[in-house]
Amino acid sequence: MKALLLQMADAVQHAVEAMEGDPAEVVGRGADGAPSARIDRTAEQAVLRVLEYEGASLNVLSEEAGYLDRGGKATLVLDPIDGTHNALRGFPAYSVSMAIGHERLSDVQEALVRDLVSGATYYAAKGGGAWLNARPIHVHPRNPADLMFTVYLGSHAAPEAAKVTGRARRVRSLGAASLDLCLVARGAADLYYMHSSVPEAKLRAVDIAGATLIVREAGGLVLDLEGRDLDIPLTSTSRTDLVAVGDRQTWEAIR
């Protein structure tokens, strides 16, 4: 499936770069009822065209279209544009996120995240490691004197987020969960913390299905806020908080 995932990522990249009209124009509603911007629909349609052209036997769970039963034995879990607000504001952090699985986060078999600004491509296969542009990647060895965190901040962030930021030497926030997770996978960040006080702002399965596998295959952990391995249904209604870390000690340090 790797070749197909790469083909779909290329299609999204080309479609977004060639897009005409206002990328922020609202063109409908997504599966969760939120407004769909032109850029989201353009990216999603690029993926669906590749699936049709290749005759790929995959169902689709997408942020925009919801669940599409295409008679497949596996499902493509798709966020056509993760970080839409970034893309519309001109903040250079947004991606297309894809995973191939069945019913739950834990049974995802392959994943690809493409940074649509830099072109960096993250890929993982279950049991096969994680890769960035064909180079193997691993989480960063723990160094308590040089901890770099990415943390979800802003008006919807839970109060605990501020406490977490105080445990790091440096703190960043991209606002695109798939890329925040991939920073942990490649060792650029030691932790990604997402805790929203507002249910509708929590992460969706489509946001994290791909990057969760990438972190785990790079040697890291993706946990719920109780410290258990995160596992949620692959549905359009699933939402969650999470913490991704390079090792268990880093998780223990923020508790």
Q: CATH 3.30.540.10 in the chain: give the residue spans.
A: 2-136
Chain-centroid distance of CA 188 in Å reads 16
Q: CATH 3.40.190.80 in the chain: give the residue spans.
A: 148-254
pLDDT tens, residue order, the chain (255 aa) = 899 999 999 999 999 999 888 888 877 766 666 767 889 999 999 999 999 999 999 999 998 889 999 999 999 999 999 999 999 999 999 999 999 999 999 999 999 999 999 999 999 999 999 999 989 999 999 999 999 999 999 999 999 999 999 999 999 999 999 999 999 999 999 999 999 999 999 999 999 999 999 999 999 999 999 999 999 999 999 999 999 999 999 999 998
Task: Output the CATH code of domain 148-254.
Answer: 3.40.190.80
pTM > 0.75: yes
CA separation (Å) from 164 to 79, 129, 167, 174, 211?
A: 27, 29, 6, 16, 22
| Domain 2-136 fold | Fructose-1,6-Bisphosphatase; Chain A, domain 1 (3.30.540)
